[in-house]
Structure 1
Amino acid sequence: MTAMQDPTTPPLRLLLVEDDLVSRSFLQAVLESLPAQVDWAATAHEAQALAATHEHALWLIDVNLPDGRGSDLLASLRRRAADTPALAHTADLSPVLATQLRADGFADVLVKPLGRQALLDAVRTALPAARQASENLPTWDEQRALSALNGQQSHIKALRDLFMGELPSVRNAISQAMASEDAGQLRQQLHRLQASCGFVGAARLGAAAAQLQQQPHNHHARNNLNQAIQQLLGQ
């Protein structure tokens, strides 16, 4: 426990699935520094047993396990807890594999070996508890927009006009992807929206898009996105 942690709040509980002893030791030590309690499994079978016993805030799953594929394990775990975010980790640098893993439902893909800070940053991004609630963010973040556009105020106005003009069609595309349960299309639309929000400083909507991208089946995340869009369009 660190000095900053509230002693009345239980630590995060994470599930780490990794069969290599050296990789597991490194990953576990870094994760425990969050601080977090880390349950470790070497196989998909062990991971399923731990998930049946404990509730985890995040799953970190090796892509290749002695008894199966990481994506198959994630699909199995999702049937028990549909909204839990997951990170994949692998030594494979293939961008094709990374794209497939994201399509399979992983929030991000960590390539081993990776540094301590890279791991912590990925975990904090994936964890809902580590992200500021989107409803508490300002509609427009002027400082972020100025930083993204090198202080060019005129560029901000021009981009925001373009952004607002396209927002209704973006909302419709996201709604259609959710209605048809097209995970790939939904992820693509949310990724584009999140990037656009960063350029124009649409802080609340950007955070809501990121949250839904991580948890596409979470009804609260869907409502947050709809409310953030409506707030902008209603101005």
Structure 2
Amino acid sequence: METRKPPSLPRVLLVEDDTISQAYFRAVLEALPAAVDAVTTQACALARAETVRHDLWLVDLNLPDGSGPDLLQRLRARWPQPPPALAHTADADPAVRVAALQAGFRDVLVKPLATAELAGAVRSALADAGDLPDWDNAAAAMALNHDPANVQALRRLFLEELPGARDEVLSSARRGDAGALRSRLHRLQAGCGLVGARRLGAAVELLRRTPESMTALDRFDHAARDLLR
């Protein structure tokens, strides 16, 4: 019997100089799961990026030896086809957010961050880069007490209901019914977590965060249709 090589974990470059915050970020990221390269300075980040291709850059906007936007510019000079980048900061000033987005960050996360918010933003960014699998068997097994029969049964039920759920999401989004969209996405996200529909779950989270985005809606549609093939 041929032995399949397990898929490699997405690799995240975490740039955070605060010890407590770095430990928290690492714990959340590794639970996704993801492999984490954690550094504390711009110089260390650049050195690490010289030898490793990351799937996501998660960068503090204020570093001991420079700024997050400056680091992003230098990382992109090293990698002309860069991965998505998320900024994090303790500064909730809207002007800081606007400047970071203009510098090229995909989103700005304001600390302190809830675990669900951090995990959701990272999953969405990785899904945007195409790095998440359709099915996460380990997550499904953990959610359902490691019972393969339960996993398969719930996945069958999930796939039976998915066409209707997809139609409801698309219809609500296109007619601008934010309440119906939010409600349907909430229920669908719970199901994705139980059955390990990882890429669709990330697309649902992205659409929940940016319901006005046609890109997010298209990403959701593609992820749902891929599961239904």
* TM-score of the pair, normalised by structure 1: 0.58
Instruction: Confirm or deny: 8 A CA contact 1:124 1:130 kept in the other structure.
Output: no
Gaps of 5+ in 2: 135-162, 178-209, 223-229
DSSP-derived class of the 1:124 partner:
helix
Give the 3 Å change call, closer, same or farther, for CA 42–194 of structure 1 in structure 2. same
Distance 1:58 1:18 in 2: 14
Which one-letter code corresponds to 1:195 in the other structure?
E
State the 1:77 CA deviation: 0.1
Q: Deviations over 1:35-58 (max 9, x none)?
A: 111001100000000000111000
Aligned residue for 2:22?
24
Instruction: Confirm or deny: 8 A CA contact 1:87 1:110 kept in the other structure.
Output: yes
Name which of structure 1's ranges 38-47 and 76-85 shifts more when overlaid on structure 2.
76-85
Give the 3 Å change call, closer, same or farther, for CA 41–207 of structure 1 in structure 2. farther
Give the 3 Å change call, closer, same or farther, for CA 150–108 of structure 1 in structure 2. closer
Q: Deviations over 1:43-82 (max 9, x none)?
A: 0000000000111000000000000001000000001123
Gaps of 5+ in 1: 1-5, 152-192, 209-235
1:129 lines up with 2:130 in the alignment: yes
Aligned residue for 2:226?
none
- Residues 1-235 of structure 1: pairs in structure 2 closer than 5 A: 8-82=6-80, 83-127=82-126, 128-129=129-130, 142-148=167-173, 149=175, 195=212, 197=214, 203-204=217-218
Distance 2:218 2:133 in 1: 10
Distance 1:150 1:107 in 2: 24
DSSP-derived class of the 2:99 partner:
helix
Q: Deviations over 1:140-168 (max 9, x none)?
A: x63213334488xxxxxxxxxxxxxxxxx
Give the 3 Å change call, closer, same or farther, for CA 46–102 of structure 1 in structure 2. same
DSSP-derived class of the 1:61 partner:
strand
Distance 1:29 1:205 in 2: 28
Aligned residue for 2:203?
none
Give the 3 Å change call, closer, same or farther, for CA 108–132 of structure 1 in structure 2. farther
Give the 3 Å change call, closer, same or farther, for CA 194–31 of structure 1 in structure 2. same
Q: Deviations over 1:87-113 (max 9, x none)?
A: 000000011110110000000000000
Give the 3 Å change call, closer, same or farther, for CA 207–94 of structure 1 in structure 2. farther
Distance 2:213 2:18 in 1: 40
- Number of residue pairs the alignment of both structures matches: 153
Distance 1:196 1:119 in 2: 20
* TM-score of the pair, normalised by structure 2: 0.59
Q: Percent identity?
A: 44
Superposition RMSD in Å: 3.0
State the 1:124 CA deviation: 1.0
Distance 1:41 1:110 in 2: 18
Instruction: Confirm or deny: 8 A CA contact 1:44 1:67 kept in the other structure.
Output: yes
State the 1:196 CA deviation: 6.2
Aligned residue for 2:201?
none
Which one-letter code corresponds to 1:121 in the other structure?
G
